[in-house]
Chains A and B, each alone.
Chain A
Amino acid sequence: MRWTSWAEFWAMGGYGLYVWGSFAVTAALMVIEVWQARRQRADTLLGLHRERALQAGEAAQAPVAVSKDMS
């Protein structure tokens, strides 16, 4: 270790703003990206759920209509 104190670590020899600015934005964007991918998956699954429920609902209706026509 070449750091003699935490303060020195954070300061990064005067370049603290630039170095931490870089690392912080990188970390933040990666977190956001993962969150976005998860959101997308959750939304897709929800959409598929709903579609399936809708189709199940329609299937339940159909036999009634057919027998009416046949009478």
Chain B
Amino acid sequence: MWLGRAVAPTDAQQGEGYRIIFVHVPASWMSMIIYLAMGFWSVMGLTFNTRLSGMMTRALAPTGAIFAFLSLWTGALWGKPMWGTWWVWDARLTSELILFFLYLGYIALTSAIDDPRRGDRAGALIAIVGAINVPIIYFSVKWWNTLHQGASVSMTQAPSMARLMLWAMLLMALAFWFYAIALVFYRVRTLILQRERQAQWVQDLPEVAGGVA
């Protein structure tokens, strides 16, 4: 963050406002990756009927939802001074908004169904079907004429942004990755305790057994 805020050079066209990119892009990437991860775990869960897959998907959802929200929020704050508008119904923004709604839908559905396993399966459908939205978001700036700018970072060509900016942004993306992984695993451990409460190993845990006669 220090790099992004203090050091990276002023962008020629957009002045200091561009610095929002250091949270906007990583948040967007995370919102997409996490939804794909949810789709992956849902497929695993449905295929192998594993309990943990459902828990993993549920643990991913809140973090992903927050990143989707941040993507939209920071995007709006960037858009207003740059292009004079908080929002526009172009392909990328709209599909990211849909992604956010998909997250909320998943969370709402899985919370509403009492039986955890049934909830997992219902949620899995949202995760898998909704995952199709992610490549749409990604390619939207290529396929349609959008206000959102095109890809400046790609795997095959040299990026069109200044080196230091790029490094700062990638560093932030890495930081968001670590944050997300740590938080999701922390959350799934709690879910495991909830779901597996009947198991002996849970009862034997010092946190549970300790202090009780």
Q: Which residues of chain A have a CB within 8 Å of any CB of chain B?
A: 1-3, 9, 12-15, 18-19, 21-23, 25-26, 29-30, 33-34, 36-37, 40-41, 44-45, 47-49, 51-53, 56
Q: A18-B77, A22-B74 are in contact. Are A2 and B20 (CB under 8 A)?
A: no
Taking a contact as CB atoms under 8 Å apart, the answer to whether A52 and B209 are in contact is yes
In angstroms, how far is the closest chain B Cβ from the Cβ of A57? 9
Q: Are A33 and B62 in contact (CB under 8 A)?
A: yes
- How far, in Å, is B60 (CB) from chain A's closest CB? 12
A62 to B1 alpha-carbon distance, docked (Å): 61
Given A2-B10, A40-B190, A56-B212, do A12 and B19 touch, yes or no (CB 8 Å)? yes
Supply 29 A–B pairs (Cβ within 8 Å), ascending by A: A1-B7, A2-B9, A9-B5, A13-B16, A14-B15, A14-B16, A14-B17, A15-B15, A15-B17, A15-B81, A18-B77, A18-B78, A18-B80, A19-B17, A19-B19, A22-B23, A22-B24, A22-B77, A25-B70, A25-B73, A37-B190, A41-B186, A41-B189, A44-B194, A47-B194, A48-B193, A48-B202, A52-B203, A53-B212
Q: In the complex the two chains form, what is the Cα distance from A45 to B202 in whole Å?
A: 10
Residues from chain A with a CB closer than 8 A to the CB of B24 are: 22
Please determine whether B183 and A3 come into contact, CB atoms closer than 8 angstroms. Answer: no
Q: Shortest CB–CB separation between residue B178 and chain A, in angstroms?
A: 12
Interface of chain A: mostly helix, strand, loop or mixed: helix
> Do B20 and A44 have beta carbons less than 8 Å apart?
no
Report the minimal beta-carbon distance from A50 to chain B, rounded to whole angstroms: 9
CA distance A45 to B197 in the complex (A): 10
Q: Does B69 contact A (CB under 8 A)?
A: yes
Interface size of B in residues (CB-CB distance below 8 Å): 42
B27 touches A45 (CB 8 A): no
Alpha-carbon separation in the docked complex, A47 to B22 (Å): 40
Interface residues of B in 32-55 (CB under 8 A from A): none
Is there a chain A Cβ closer than 8 Å to B174's Cβ? no
Question: Does B207 sit within 8 A of A, measured CB to CB?
Answer: yes
